[in-house]
Structures are given as C-alpha cells and as structure tokens.
Amino acid sequence: MAAGASRFALSSTAFAAAAFIVELVFIVATAIVTGIAYHSFAYGYPGSIEQYANIGGLAGFVYGLTFLIRDEYSVESLLEGHRVNTRLFLVWSLAFVTLAAIGFLTKSTAEFSRGWLVLFYGAGLVVVVALNAGVQRSLAALIDRGIVRRRKLMIVGTEDDVAKLEREISDGAASVYVAARAIVPGTYCDQASISEVLEKAAANARVLGIEDVVISSGLSRPDFLDSSVAAFSLLPVAIHVGAGGLLSRFKDAEVARFGRATTLSLTREPLGPFEAMTKRAFDVASSSIALVLLSPLFLVIAALIKLDTPGPVFFRQRRRGYNLIEFGIWKFRTMTVQDDGDVVVQATRNDARVTRLGRFLRKSSLDELPQLFNVLRGEMSLVGPRPHAVAHDRFFEKRIALYPRRLNMKPGITGWAQVNGFRGATETDEAMSNRVDHDLYYIDNWSVAFDIYIVMLTVLSRKAQQNAH
C-alpha cells in the first residue's frame, strides 16, 4: 500500500494500547480456562471464574505494565524484536513473583490452588510467547495494508544528506515514511536564505501533519542547527538530529549532564553502583549456601581424585578477570598436566591427558565447583563470561573484535554462551566469535532474573552440557 493509510488506521499510540489490551485479555482468558480445566479435573467442579479472572488480570497487568513503562508495545520496538523470548520469560516470572508477594502480604495464598497456579504459569508463558511471535510476524503486513499507520517524517539538510538519510530510513524503518524533504543549499549562502527555506519547510510540515523532523548534522555551519530547531520547535513534532558517522555505531547514546556541561553519552558502565551491589549480594549468598551444602561432595570428589591418579586435588591456572586483572582460578584436577604458561593446549574430545575420573567431572561440570571460592573472594561471579587462560586471551584479543570487552564484567562459573552450547574448545575464530557475541549480549542485558534463568538452564538444559570434554 502507499505510504499513507486509511483515515481509520491505528496510530502508533493506539496500536500500543490495543496490543496491551489484547495481551491482557488473552492472559485473563488463559487464567479462566486453566482454572476451570484444573478444578474440573481435580475436584469435579469448575471453581470460581471470578477468582481466576482477578488473578489473571493482576498477572496480566503486572506483565504488561513492565513492557508499557519501557515503551516496548510501540510499533518500532516490536518491529525491531526487542521483546525476545528470554525477556518474556523473565517478565512473566516476575509477574508471578509479584503475585506471590501480594498473596503473602495479604495472607491470601491459601485461597488459591497451587496446582492451578503452576498450570496457569506454564500455559500463560506459552500464550504470551506465541502471541508476541504472532504480533511481530503480522505487524509489517498490518502496516503495508494500512491498518496501522506509519508516522509522517520530514528530512531537513543538504541534497546529499537528505538522500542518504532517506535511504537509511527507508531501508529499515517500516513504521515511518518520508512525507517531505527540505533541501538547504550545501554551498555558502546567507542566513536569510536558510531562514526562508526553513520557514517554508515548517509551514509545509504543519499542513502535511508531519510528526517527526530529522535534521541532518552534515552542514557544518553552526547556526544551521540552531535555526532549524527554532523553526520546527513551534510545531507539535518530535525533532531529531541525524547521528551519522561515529554516533551511528551507538544505538543507546543519550544526553547526560555534568553540572552545566551537556554531553552525549555513547556508552554506560556495564553495571551501575546499585546493580553491582545487587549482583555481588546474589553471588555471596549463593556461593556461601552452595559451599555449605556441597562440602560433602567436595570431600568425595577429592578422595576419588587421589585414588584415581597421583597429583594434587586442585588445578590452578592464571585467568583474566574484571578489567583484565589476573587471578588464580580453582578447579578440581581432571588432567595429567598443569599447563599455565605462554602456551596452553585446550582439551579436545578423547584427549589422552584427561584422566578417567576427569572425563566424568568435565562432562558433568563438577570440576568447576571449586570456583565458588573464587566467587566468594570477589574474583568471579556465579554468572558471567567464562574466563580463559591468559595465553588464549592474548591470542584471541588480536583476532576477535571487541574480545577484551567481554571482561568488562566479572567472569562467571557459567554464562549465557555456555548454556547456549558455546563451551569447550574454541579451535576456530568463528567458534570464539559466537562465544564473544553471547558474552556481550549478557553484559548488555544483565539482570538478577537473567542470572537466575542462566543458573536454571545450567542445571536443566542439555545445551549447557554440549561440547564438554
């Protein structure tokens, strides 16, 4: 369909509201259906439909509100796929944690069937994942058919800059279309000529109902941006400055202020102070409990290692931690060698250096358990990018782009790469690149819930045991 849409097409705001309501309705319906089904099967009667609807409505509201606050019901967010399945799982789980907290505080947990809540949780997760996939797949078609309206956009700049911006916008932005262009002379002209062009452009934008104005930053005259912003600030439009060149590499760039100085922040530190404190508290609590509970297992493994082959119980090796600071990692010894020099040969499948017991320990990841001491000491985290031997770091940091950035966060006993099957020997640049990509995704999307999810996958997922040898 043409760029324009029918007069009855949904605006971006109306679509976001509709998506929120539809999702809420589906969640409430799931609560009712699972409640009736469970109670009819377990107790022989359907139970309270009103109670199911109330619980479903509360769960759906908490779930949807999380995305609503982050503007993730917007057309742009859905088209770009921001709501990945991992986020859906985390937010849906958060909704049920909230339900549990409310039930505890109101002393009403005994009023609800735990069996039904488990069924509702599982069925609801399937529903929200399927619904999200359906919306993402159909949204582009809804836009093409004019059911969801594109936002009208105007580009202001030199002829070359306007053409370049239009190509970039048309290439990847299905939710907007360029409805008008304002060409400013690229060669020198007086301020009066620029003001005349901008005045006509602003008048045209008002007539066309333009919603977004993108001003090119390519024209080097300092008064151009000032004049452009002044001209379009009189209209009810969103004003944007084209961020070409260096800025285009940073999708999360934002304005920051230090005193009276205004800056453009390209990146942020991986964890803020509160986030770092939260992650550390989780690490200390989890590793302390695990060490106490697993101490008998430690003794059994230590005894078996001594009986299996001569040598120490533990293996220590230099690894790089946060900000490339070296530390000594602890593992149960699984090999007949103790490599820790400038050349470290990675273990491969059917490696003759791996002991009989070591093969089992590596396959089950039990050899990693002593790293709980590294976590308690603050050298590692329970979850994070896996640390490599220093020799391997020196090799790959010269070959893989952004490789050192993976240690902008403490290394972990397990990580997002490992639970997705990217563990074991990294014999090619491609294998390491896949691991690095997952590590950087984890750093950019960290949360306590994400850590818990990864820990669960480490224990339950078959992928987490792939390539372990």
Are residues 301 and 254 part of one domain? no
pLDDT at 371: 95
Task: For residues 426 and 416, give the distance between their C-alpha atoms in angstroms, rounded to a whole number.
Answer: 16
Tell me which residue of 131, 134, 142, 148 sits closest to 28, measured CA to CA: 131
**Cβ(62)–Cβ(94) below 8 Å:** yes
Six-digit token pair at 205? 């934008």
Is 298 within the bounds of a domain? yes
Is-contact 112 51, C-beta < 8 A? yes
Q: Give per-10-residue mean pLDDT for the chain (469 aa).
A: 56 85 95 94 89 92 87 81 83 87 73 85 94 86 80 87 83 75 76 84 91 79 79 88 68 76 78 86 92 94 91 90 90 80 64 83 88 94 91 84 87 92 73 88 86 88 63
Q: What is the pLDDT of residue 111?
A: 67
Residues 397 and 378 reside in one and the same domain: yes
Instruction: Tell me: do 221 and 336 sit in the same domain.
Output: no
Q: Is residue 331 part of a domain?
A: yes
Which tens digits make up the pLDDT trace of 63-86? 998 888 878 888 878 877 778 888
Q: Check whether residue 285 and residue 423 sit in a common domain.
A: yes
Among 243, 265, 287, residue at a domain's last position: 265
Residues 256 and 313 in one domain: no
As a whole number of angstroms, the distance between CA 102 and CA 105 comes to 5
Same-domain status, 442 and 379: yes
Listed residue (266, 271, 240) closest to 251, CA to CA: 266
Domain endpoint, select from 212, 237, 265: 265
Could you tell me the CATH number of the domain that includes residue 257? Answer: 3.40.50
- CA dist 82 and 8 (Å) reads 27
Last-in-domain residue among 225, 249, 265: 265
Six token digits for residue 194: 């620029």
**438 in the same domain as 330:** yes
Domain count, the chain: 3
Q: Produce one character per residue of 410-444: b if its CB has 16 or more CB atoms within 10 Å, e if not.
A: bbbbbbbbbbbbbbbebeeeeebbbbbbbbbebbe
Identity of the residue numbered 248: S
The beta-carbon contacts of 98-106 under 8 Å, at least 24 apart in sequence, are 98/62, 99/55, 99/58, 99/59, 99/62, 102/58
Task: Classify residue 322: in a domain, yes or no.
Answer: yes
Supply the pLDDT for residue 363.
83
Are 113 and 138 found together in one domain? Answer: yes
Has residue 3 been placed in a domain? no
Could you read off the pLDDT of 216-266 as tens digits, one per residue?
876 656 677 888 888 898 898 888 887 666 666 666 677 777 877 877 777
Question: Based on the domain organization, do 60 and 173 belong to the same domain?
Answer: no
Could you tell me if residue 297 is inside a domain?
A: yes
Assigned domain for 5 exists? no
**417 and 385 part of one domain:** yes
Is residue 2 assigned to a domain? no
pTM for the predicted model, two decimal places: 0.59
Whether residues 345 and 397 share a domain: the answer is yes
Domain assignment of residue 98, given as a range: 12-144
CA dist list (Å): 324 to 5, 368, 383, 400: 54, 21, 17, 16
What is the pLDDT, as a whole number, of residue 2?
43
The predicted structure's pLDDT at residue 449: 82
Please tell me whether residues 284 and 214 are part of one structural domain.
no
pLDDT tens digits for range 184-222? 876 666 777 788 888 999 999 999 989 889 988 766 566
Domain annotation covers residue 332 = yes
Residue 3 has a pLDDT of: 47
Q: Would you put residue 323 in left (φ > 0), alpha (ψ -120 to 50) or beta? A: left
The Cα–Cα gap between 270 and 268 comes to 6
Residue 355: closest CA among 295, 319, 313, 297: 313
